[in-house]
Structure 1
Amino acid sequence: FFGVLSEKIGRKKAIMIAAFLALPVLPLWAFASGSIMIGVGAFLMQFMVQGAWGVIPSWLTELVPANARAVLPGFVYQLGNLIASVNA
């Protein structure tokens, strides 16, 4: 949903909308008392989080100069894996 929306209104706006829509869902996800409401809150929270973070790779790729687009995203991904490898 947010991917299609980002094509129409822009990547940054779609990311911001998804992030702001996560704020009203936060109490439902964090403080719900019943298991059904926790499930609904978790689903909605994941929908908003994935909506924001799902668009970010496209947005970052568009920021990279055209001659480095094939190399830079993969390099940054592997660099992140290298940095996170000390956590294990």
Structure 2
Amino acid sequence: MLENEKEKLDSYIHRLGNLTLTAYNGELSNKSFSKKIDYFNNSNLRINHYFREQNIEIWNLEAINQRSKYLADIAVKVWIR
């Protein structure tokens, strides 16, 4: 991986689309996405249903951007009231 690619990936770590709620952060934090997706697909938290509903299999910058937009759209609907 080139240095500028790593920097770009690192800049996405704390973006809204790359974050979620879980009671298992300690267990999941350093696992690969393919290991985390099983948890997300079986989560009772509505925020994690996105992964199942969108059939997310690959987690990359495009997927993070799409989820960021999805969450931002929800936030606007909720807080516009």
Common fold: TM-score over 0.5 = no
Instruction: Report the TM range for the smaller structure's normalisation.
Output: 0.3 to 0.5
The structure with higher relative contact order (CA 8 Å, sep 6+) is 2
- TM-score, normalised relative to structure 2: 0.33
- TM-score, normalised relative to structure 1: 0.32
